[in-house]
């Protein structure tokens, strides 16, 4: 492996990169609190309109198809126009789509308002673009920074899912959508005031640490290679990361959409089940930080394996829920789900950022986001179709477990192939 540059500290009392992390976490709290609360709306909408589960799950899949199609374009926009403009536009789309969703009375209308408009907003504020932006601010502590920011997704589930269930039960799903729209609207001034593209625009250095002048002269260092999406796409490592991403989020979003329905079918009270799902969000928030720190110390791949084991365990527990309900097993499921969620997107995007640094990280992680979206679009619909045909989710659970294995193997091999490529170049 190439030698890392020697560094010396620049004496600053506080590094502004942590403000960027905090704002990133807040935007993800709202964006993914919206996305991950779909399981609550799923139950309410199927009950009110009598839609089939596969058809209702298709709404979520449409949003993920939009995510898959537009993530690279959103990443290119981020690289060109900067984080403040692009993220403010994303928050605007999110607010507009959520308010429009509160006015729908048919499936096709929700497919447009939530699937397309909300989907576009979440894409722009999505994990890949956030990780690419954070990689401009951090290198040594990138895993921790991404982990803290992505903890916002877990906090969104913790804070919003039970509250949305409460609103739906007492005032209706329309009010719940309007509340989420108001939260999205509040993001715009926060983004415009606090977000910045990179430390350079503020006269700062990556990690808040100034490198020695000689440190940037090592041309083979991965820290100085300026990858573009074109050059990255010519490597096997890039496509292994894409495969890992494709099968990383799909099983998770299958659970996001269908978990509450599975719990209600097993006899659990919907508010209790939604509270457990919200509690899983707290575990997710902690897991993002824990796994981010752990990945900086023992490696991204090893940490990802631990998360994969937890996620498979969650699927096994959910598949075995029985009537009469046993609340203890639901708590076990919530813990395992939170640990699994906290190891997926953050580690895949961190690996992509490690392997392909440069000025095109927005586009590269946008491609990773497209793979996230493709898997997340397919798996929820597939699970709904399997249920409508067979009356249970057993085959869907099995497919999800296999997908987790494929994702884990692909992410394990990507850095191995990259190291071999670097060694062959240095000979």
Instruction: For residue range 201-244, list pLDDT tens digits in order.
Output: 999 998 888 876 654 433 333 444 678 888 999 999 999 999 99
Of the candidates 232, 291, 304, 223, the one whose C-alpha atom is nearest the C-alpha of residue 75 is 232
Give the per-residue pLDDT at 323: 72
Cβ neighbour number for residue 138 with a 10 Å cutoff: 22
Listed in sequence order, the DSSP H helices in 82-141 are 83-101, 107-110, 119-124, 127-135
Backbone CA torsion sign across 413, 397, 381, 165: negative
Give the per-residue pLDDT at 13: 67
Backbone CA torsion sign across 129, 133, 135, 138: negative
List C-alpha distances in Å: 370 to 131, 255, 404, 426.
Answer: 14, 19, 18, 33
Would you kindly state where each structural domain of the chain is located, as residue ranges? 13-204+230-426
Rounded to whole angstroms, the Cα distance separating 143 from 360 reads: 19
**148 close to 288: Cβ distance less than 8 angstroms:** yes
Rounded to whole angstroms, the Cα distance separating 28 from 98 reads: 16
Give the per-residue pLDDT at 331: 92
- How large is the C-alpha radius of gyration of the chain? 21
Give 161-197 pLDDT, tens digit per residue: 888 989 999 999 999 999 999 999 999 999 999 999 8
Question: Taking residues 55-61, what's their average pLDDT?
Answer: 87
Token pair recorded at residue 119: 């989907």
List C-alpha distances in Å: 44 to 27, 65, 260.
Answer: 26, 23, 11
The model's confidence at residue 270, banded by pLDDT at 50, 70 and 90, is confident
Per the model's pLDDT, the better-predicted residue between 123 and 327 turns out to be 123
Separation of first and last alpha carbons in the chain:
12
**406 close to 243: Cβ distance less than 8 angstroms:** yes
Question: Taking residues 376-382, what's their average pLDDT?
Answer: 89
Asked if residue 321 has pLDDT above 90, the reply is no
Helix (H) or strand (E) holding 368: helix 361-390
Rounded to whole angstroms, the Cα distance separating 116 from 379 reads: 18
Residue at token pair 């606090």: 194
**Collapsing DSSP states into helix, strand and coil, what is residue 209?**
strand
CATH classification number, 13-204+230-426, choose in 1.20.1250.20, 3.40.50.10860, 1.10.3720.10, 1.10.1270.20: 1.20.1250.20
Give the per-residue pLDDT at 213: 61
């Amino acid at each position: 492996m190439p030698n890392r540059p020697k560094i010396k500290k620049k004496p600053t009392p506080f590094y502004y990169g942590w403000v960027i992390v905090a704002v990133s976490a807040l935007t993800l709290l709202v964006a993914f609190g919206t996305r991950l609360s779909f399981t609550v709306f799923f139950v309410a909408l199927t009950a009110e309109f009598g839609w089939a589960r596969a058809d209702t799950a298709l709404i979520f899949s449409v949003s993920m198809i939009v995510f898959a199609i537009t993530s690279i374009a959103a990443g290119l926009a981020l690289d060109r126009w900067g984080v403040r403009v692009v993220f403010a536009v994303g928050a605007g789309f999110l607010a507009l789509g959520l308010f429009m969703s509160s006015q729908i009375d048919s499936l096709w209308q929700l497919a447009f308002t939530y699937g397309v408009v909300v989907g576009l907003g979440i894409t722009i504020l999505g994990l890949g673009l956030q990780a690419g932006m954070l990689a401009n601010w951090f290198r040594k502590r990138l895993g921790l920074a991404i982990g803290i920011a992505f903890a916002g997704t877990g906090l969104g589930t913790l804070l919003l899912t039970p509250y949305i269930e409460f609103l739906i039960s007492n005032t209706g799903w329309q009010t719940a959508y309007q509340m989420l729209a108001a939260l999205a609207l509040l993001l715009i001034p926060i983004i415009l005031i606090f977000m910045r593209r990179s430390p350079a625009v503020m006269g700062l250095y990556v990690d808040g640490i100034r490198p020695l002048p000689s440190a940037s002269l090592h041309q083979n260092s991965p820290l100085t290679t300026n990858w573009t999406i074109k050059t990255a796409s010519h490597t096997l490592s890039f496509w292994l990361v894409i495969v890992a991403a494709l099968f990383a989020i799909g099983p998770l979003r299958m659970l996001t959409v269908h978990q509450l329905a599975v719990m209600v079918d097993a006899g659990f009270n919907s508010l209790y089940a939604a509270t457990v799902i919200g509690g899983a969000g707290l575990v997710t928030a902690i897991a993002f930080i824990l796994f981010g720190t752990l990945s900086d110390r023992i490696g991204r791949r090893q940490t990802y394996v631990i998360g994969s084991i937890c996620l498979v365990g969650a699927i096994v527990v959910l598949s075995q829920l029985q009537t009469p309900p046993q609340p203890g097993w639901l708590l076990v499921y919530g813990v395992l789900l939170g640990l699994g969620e906290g190891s997926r997107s953050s580690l895949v995007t961190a690996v992509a950022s490690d392997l392909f640094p440069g000025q095109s990280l927005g586009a590269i992680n946008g491609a990773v986001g497209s793979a996230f979206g493709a898997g997340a679009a397919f798996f929820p619909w597939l699970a709904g179709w399997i249920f409508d045909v067979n009356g249970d989710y057993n085959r869907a659970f099995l497919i999800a477990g296999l997908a987790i294995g494929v994702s884990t193997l692909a992410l394990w091999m990507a850095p191995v192939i990259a190291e071999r490529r670097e060694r062959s170049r240095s000979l």
